[in-house]
Structure 1
Amino acid sequence: MKINLELEFMLNNDVKINAKHIKLLKQILLDKSILKAAKNLNISYKNAWDSLNLINQNSIMPLFNNQSKKEGAKLSLFALKLIEKYDEFTEYKSKLNDDFRPLLSARNVIKAKIININLSKLCAKVTCELNGVKINVLISNSAVYDLQLKVNDYVFLIFKINFIELEEEGENSFKAKIVDMKIIDGYYHLDLAFADNILQASVKVEKLKRKYKIGDEILSKIKADKIILSL
């Protein structure tokens, strides 16, 4: 279970301040320029200006104290407070997800570090690393934006028991040690030790090439499109 709250501050029924506005304000705080911030975020200056101008027109307090060429764009106390409060709510949302994470006991959950994010027209490939093993996850481009993912973030990778493919090589494959096993109704039910995690897998006995025992290593793989990525 994951709580996915889309955080928005409402100025009125038509004007909202959301994650993209906060991200832009944070970049302006660094660059002291709307133009530079827009370039660094790979959005048009018009897009950036129009979205901020709409907020200014509908707020009783401005987002900027000044916009002189000499001093650059300087965020107002109101804008700084918006950033602070948005970050507080985002942190609270993360805490709520941490509280609900134990309800995922029916699935496998591992924590990994993002080392690369590759956006394409169809989807995004997020490459994570855990104890030297690279695991790719396919998610939508919008999910990367909504979750505000970036390199060096730690994320949780969640997948069902039957999504672990055994004796399979290729992308997302890794070796795991069998620490417990049972055969029930023609199925292997395995507990696998991988990078300080215990993963559960289930597979028909006849699908495996040989018989295994506790202590054996088995090659395992999880397809990139079978993994849910969570903060």
Structure 2
Amino acid sequence: MENALEGRLWISKADHSFLGQGRIELLRQIGETGSISKAAKAMKMSYKAAWDAVDAMNNLAEAPLVERSTGGKGGGGTRLTPYGREIIETYTVLHEEHQRFLNNLSLRINTQEGHLRLLERMTMRVSARNQLLGSVVKIHKGAVHSEVVLRLKGEDTITAIITNDSIKSLDLQIDTEAYALFKAGSVILSTDLDLAISTRNRFEGTVERIERGSINSEVIVNLKGGNTICSTVTNESLDELQLSEGKPVVALCKASNIILGLQ
């Protein structure tokens, strides 16, 4: 019996999964149907999982791959951006080359009648719901800790407080690209747009969608710059704030809750 090699092609950014065959197929379905709910149904995945994948891709990409459209016969929907279509074409070429490589390697293994030991590099997967890409625009050093400011897409900024040892270990400098990671539970929402609070990170946006659970709910906030932030709130808080899609909100997150990572 001949040996055969199989593998899947994934494109990652700083050890964060960015694009794979499943996500590319999801993008194709969105492009064909103009609806994320129809695309999710075709992929046999939940509506929430589809949106989570789209948010992850949009936040990690240099430009949005998917955007909402308004108006039209159906009252709006979801569509691919030109950059999203370009990404699909690029991935298709890479996938074909990847398959050709695996086929050639399989032939080589069988010709040599040997065994190939495949070593997989262990990668760390981060549980933080929010992963935003930016570049360092300011480093304010203190005695022990430093304040690092990243500029995100659309001129939004986010500030992290990390140790000076971490600054040195990551070799952070002005213009260094880095990822800001933070949990959804660390994001506080308010409908008071004039709220005065000492929290370092303050983002204005609108509620894009709400995923209500039995106890807690996930609220996805679309920022003015094009990024999205996820916040976990109790259903009681959700009702008290009277949150609904399209409602303006302020998302707050302490600088000490932000973790920085490099590609």
Output the TM-score relative to the length of structure 1. 0.53
For residues 107-160 of structure 1, the C-alpha deviation after alignment (integer angstroms, 9 at most, x for no partner) is: 210011211111111211111222333321011101111111111222110011
Q: CA RMSD in A?
A: 2.3
Which shows bigger deviation, 123-132 or 144-153? 123-132
Supply the distance in 1 between the matched residues of 2:173 and 2:14 (Cα, whole angstroms): 23
2:141 equivalent to 1:111: no
Selected match of 2:200 from 124, 146, 171: 171
- Whose radius of gyration is greater, 1 or 2? 1
Count, aligned residues: 136
What's 1:158 paired with?
A: 181
> Secondary structure of 1:175's partner?
strand
Which residue identity is paired with 1:145?
K
What's 2:146 paired with?
A: 124
What's 1:100 paired with?
A: 15
Contact 2:134–2:151 (CA under 8 A) maintained in structure 1: yes
Supply the distance in 2 between the matched residues of 1:117 and 1:136 (Cα, whole angstroms): 10
> Secondary structure of 1:149's partner?
coil
Output the TM-score relative to the length of structure 2. 0.47
2:219 equivalent to 1:197: no
Supply the distance in 1 between the matched residues of 2:258 and 2:12 (Cα, whole angstroms): 17
Contact 2:145–2:164 (CA under 8 A) maintained in structure 1: yes
Which residue identity is paired with 1:141?
N
Shift of the 99–150 alpha-carbon distance from structure 1 to 2, 3 Å rule, reads closer
Supply the distance in 1 between the matched residues of 2:230 and 2:236 (Cα, whole angstroms): 18
Supply the distance in 2 between the matched residues of 1:225 and 1:115 (Cα, whole angstroms): 18
Which shows bigger deviation, 114-123 or 205-214? 205-214
Shift of the 134–106 alpha-carbon distance from structure 1 to 2, 3 Å rule, reads closer
> By how many angstroms is 1:222 displaced?
1.3
Unaligned runs of 5+ in 1: 1-95
Sequence identity percentage: 21
